[in-house]
Structure 1
Amino acid sequence: MGAQRPYTDLLPDLNEFVPGLVDEIIDGIRATIPDYDRPQGSPYNEIIRCGVERNVLGFVEWLADPGRPLERRNDLCRRIGAFEAMEGRPLAVLQSAYRIGAQLGWSRIQSLLAEREPSAVAVSVLAEALFRYMDEAAELSREGYDRVRAEEDEKRDAARLLLLRDLVRRSDADVEALHPAAEWTAPAQVTLVALPPRTSAVRPLLDPDLLLDLHTPEPYLLVPGPLTAPRRAMLEAALASGRAAVGLPVPPARAADSLRWARRMLALITEGIFDDGTLTLCEDHLVSMWLLSDGPLMEQIARRQLSFLTRADERRRQWLADTLRAWLRTRGPAGRMGEDLGLHVQTVRYRMRVLEEILQEDLTDPDSRFATETVLRALWLRGRTG
């Protein structure tokens, strides 16, 4: 608190004023702050009285001996801060109580000083001492408050991680009940987001109700509800330097499905098939994802449906595939196909005659036509990456 100062020369013995000042401060706090206005005689009021009394006595004792340690005061202030955190009140409420105590204390001191007519310097010195003392007390309470909040946040985050992992492993609709410490209520829908390995997210930018698991080789997070425009903007800001794949919104019991789809999309992004920027949404590519869901099986279908292409040279194979795909896509006349392919109508008619000769009834059979169109679309998607 600094060097010795002749505070006892400025004021009379303050001990006789302590009880009345303690009552005045308590009444002022209760009248100003509703959180502290409890019934007379309640245990909570005893806590308030203990805190006020210890701080007032500590200040009076320190005035008499500025060099004396204040361990009791310091420990009590930290415990008061911890108690406020456990009660769930904002720290600002306690800080307001400290300000009220300092103002009322200074008002009482001023009335005592008026009887002695001290110098302006002496008044300034004493005012500085009082408000520094109270600032230190408030800071000690903040330390206790922050310690408890940090411990509570750590416990809640650990519980939320376990909850998230259970959600993507199990189909229990009430899995949240297994983790009450998570303090998280499941919404009607959830959306899972797959992240690349070693993703670096700007955590302060993420909404506090998101669930995250970044401590895994395949990190991911859960967004409560569908991916609304504000949620999307939030993720794009927090993941600005990376890529992510967004699954479909599903009931919480189906969270594993949303994550599976998101991870499949992330693999396709890695292969270079899709890239919509920071976020690629499964719902924007549902059919394409389905076509690419089983590569080896699609290859088997391709061998059967497009075996005729293996008998043609490379140049002929390409225009046969392009023409067949255009016909399947447009179902239009030669003129429409010509516009689509950028070819003269006679060239298109020639190519169609070649295809009709090769495929015969397969060209008009509904099942065969559907299988061929499906495999050509899948090959086209793959072909975009070379």
Structure 2
Amino acid sequence: MILPAVAERIIRVVPEEIPAYAAACDGGYGVKIALGMRTAFQQLLRLPGTDRGALDADTRDLMAALGAGEFREGRTMHHLLGAYRLAARIAFRELSEECARQGMGMDVVVDLGESIWAYIDELSSVSAQAYAAAQSARAGVVDRRRAELAAALLDGAVTPAEAHRLAAEAEWPLPERLRVAVLPAAPDAVTRLGLGRAGPVLERDGQIVVLSAPPRSPVVTRRLLAALQGTGAVVGPEVDALEVARSLHVARAVLARRDALSGVAPGAAVLAEEHLADVVLGAEPEALRRLSERVLAPLDGLSDAKRATLEATLAAWLAHRGARGPMAAELNVHPQTVGYRVGRLRELFGGALDDADARFDLELALRSRRGQG
């Protein structure tokens, strides 16, 4: 009979035409593929002249199992959909030739073709949905295991063997060095997806924490910061993988001071290592306040405007080591004006401007005042 022969021809030709299925012919999954092909073909032949749905419950379940199986076997849906299309072409060619041999009209052949392709569309839809569901479920498992790995590393109580075991389960090879990025709030979906590609992500204490391997070049670092723009993220320093909690500690210290960071726009992503001085300055605010009061006392008798002018001049003098040209450019005044102001500072501060320790204290005081302002 032609009908069983068509089904067997499909089963034989598919692995010949689609190499991905050549190895799958052996073993349990190959049996399932063959069963699926036979069942689908038999169901197709039951449809003409009836009002039943394209797929019955058994066929639908089997096609869904094939779709999910494709994901588990590590193939894309491209292969299974190609097999369905190939099967449709074989079935249409064989059955239309049989129709011709039996003297059936062209309208029968056209109806047959439309029925076959509509049926293949239905098979493809069921399998694709099952593939997507299996993929989503797997992604959820991997994300959870990666979050567990990140939590274990950040808690700092994991052994090297345990860390590598968790990393293997999370399908994320553990690098020798790691760093964290801390986001003060959950990012949008697109950014979150990109973070997941960088490494394990978890939420901790209301913040989003991402572990990643240090980049191989400054260019990669800048791309990371660009991807995080608008999130207010702080990227911690790189450390040994089992000491990644240290990177988190530094990143959070900078995050706590981000409103006082010099030259950082709101929402900008920053590298913690570029702002460690701001963290140090904010560590003992009362001590810095008392230092500022003491070393800047010579300015106490001035008006607010005059004091602000001389503080800015003093900061520029310290930054440029007294070079008038750069100071004038920074302050946007004439070099002669700079000379006058520096002379006034020497009147007020005396020999302190020539003492290295005093200059250090003055710079700390001025930096702390800028952070507070």
Q: How would you bin the TM-score normalised by the shorter chain?
A: 0.7 to 0.9
Deviation at 1:347, TM superposition (A): 5.0
Given the alignment of the two structures, is residue 268 of structure 1 paired with residue 257 of structure 2, yes or no? yes
2:292 aligned to 291, 299, 302, which one? 302
Structure-2 change in CA distance of 1:66 and 1:300 (3 Å): same
1:132 aligns with 2:126: no
Moved more, 22-31 or 242-251: 242-251
Alignment-mate amino acid for residue 262 of structure 1: A
Matched, 1:349 2:343: yes
Counterpart contact for 1:79–1:141, Cα < 8 Å: yes
CA distance in 2, matches of 1:105, 1:160: 46
1:38 corresponds to 2:23: yes
Distance 2:60 2:219 in 1: 49
After the TM superposition, which of the residue ranges 345-354 and 53-62 deviates more from structure 2?
A: 345-354
SS of 2:52's partner is: coil
Q: How big is the shift at 1:335? A: 8.6
Hey, what's the Cα distance between the residues in 1 that align with 2:110 and 2:219?
Answer: 56
1:49 Cα deviation after fit: 1.7
Long gaps (5+) in structure 1: 1-15
TM-score by length of 2: 0.81
Partner AA of 2:365 in structure 1 = V
Residues 104 and 303 of structure 1, relative CA distance in 2, 3 Å threshold = same
Q: CA deviation at 1:271?
A: 4.8
Contact 1:245 1:265 survives alignment (8 Å)? yes
What do you get for the CA RMSD once the two structures are aligned? Answer: 3.4
* TM-score under structure 1 length normalisation: 0.79
- Across the two proteins, how many residue pairs are aligned to each other? 363
Is structure 2 residue 71 aligned with structure 1 residue 82? no
Amino acid across the alignment from 2:71: A
Q: Distance in 2 between matches of 1:193 and 1:234?
A: 10
AA matched with 1:243? G
The answer to whether the Cα contact below 8 Å between 1:334 and 1:349 also exists between their aligned partners in 2 is no
Tell me how far apart the structure 2 counterparts of residues 107 and 336 of structure 1 sit (CA, whole Å).
84
Deviation at 1:25, TM superposition (A): 0.9
1:61-210 correspondence runs (5 A): 61-63=46-48, 65-67=50-52, 70-170=56-156, 172=158, 174=160, 175-203=163-191, 206=194, 208-210=196-198
In structure 2, the CA distance between the partners of 1:270 and 1:302, relative to structure 1 (3 Å rule), is closer
1:193–1:222 Cα contact (<8 Å) kept? yes
Counterpart CA distance in 2 for 1:75 and 1:57 is: 15
The answer to whether the 8 A contact 2:230-2:269 is kept is no
**Larger Cα-atom Rg:** 1
Q: Tell me the distance in 1 between the aligned counterparts of 2:183 and 2:222.
A: 14
* Structure 2 gap ranges (5+): none
